[in-house]
Homo-oligomer: A and B are copies of this chain.
């Protein structure tokens, strides 16, 4: 009873791409991964990951976003294209739009999003430009009339929860916690495996066609103060809380050089401005756990239990 849509994943060895690829294989889709020649040969850790994907039935295609012919050949093989590229490759997604337009048979494109909803943002620079670039990719997709789903998966749980967003920590703090703003803005923490599963569930669902899929899971939509309180309950201890007012956050952003300033500016958007939840989901959006109530996802509470 595997999925029948053929899937191309671009960026499958990356941070979130590996979870999307795993979910695609686990849910039985014929899965194609566009991978640079150099990825396997120069990075042992990625080579190992690709081997495990191959063992699970993935088809590895050599190519890249800069090699148009390779991209077109890959796109021709599939029904759905998912991009999970990051960093400077975000801008190269216009090449995917061109290739999909040229091939003409793709039924759905999911560009690399997997964070805040970029059309509902109060981010300041340098995060503002990062989000605006993703919005430009959305506009290019829409201008070409390519069927799409945008996955707004909000905070990666595996990145924010193990440290409670405290730089340099690998386990939640047991003495002191620094909180951007007043800690009351709500954010959404989603386990990376669950992001993979919801993404694959949505990619050929007519209910997500030309819509944004919001992963705003109720049990994981919490203010920073609430996350801290959950943790305090688990360790049965009250932490010292240092609140950083918005003006100080803005100063910190301008006094931190690249690339540290991007991380703080994203933190400002999420934790001070509440950009993951400060808007209503409109007619162009759907919420993942409402569409797929059977998917059992990891809650923030479960997640934090690992560190007690």
Contacts and interface: CB of A to CB of B under 8 A. Distances in A.
B257 A259 contact: no
Contact of A159 (B132, B250, B260, B262): B260
Interface in A223-266: 247, 250-251, 254-263, 266
Given A88-B130, A168-B167, A168-B169, A156 B254 contact: no
A278 interface: no
A263 B43 CA distance: 18
A261 B87 contact: yes
Most buried by B among A126, A156, A256: A126
Copy tally for this chain in the complex stands at 2
A45 B261 contact: no
A13 B43 CA distance: 39
B125 A87 contact: yes
A46 interface: yes
Interface string A161-173: 0000011110000
A151 to B, nearest CB: 15
Nearest to A133: B88
Given A45-B251, A88-B126, A88-B133, 20 more contacts: A15-B254, A15-B258, A43-B250, A43-B254, A44-B250, A46-B254, A87-B129, A87-B258, A88-B129, A88-B130, A89-B129, A130-B259, A159-B257, A166-B168, A167-B167, A167-B168, A259-B259, A259-B262, A259-B266, A262-B262
30 contacts: A14-B254, A15-B254, A15-B257, A16-B257, A43-B250, A43-B254, A44-B247, A45-B250, A45-B251, A86-B126, A86-B258, A86-B261, A87-B130, A87-B259, A87-B261, A87-B262, A88-B125, A88-B129, A88-B130, A89-B125, A89-B129, A156-B257, A159-B260, A167-B167, A168-B168, A168-B169, A259-B259, A259-B262, A260-B263, A262-B262
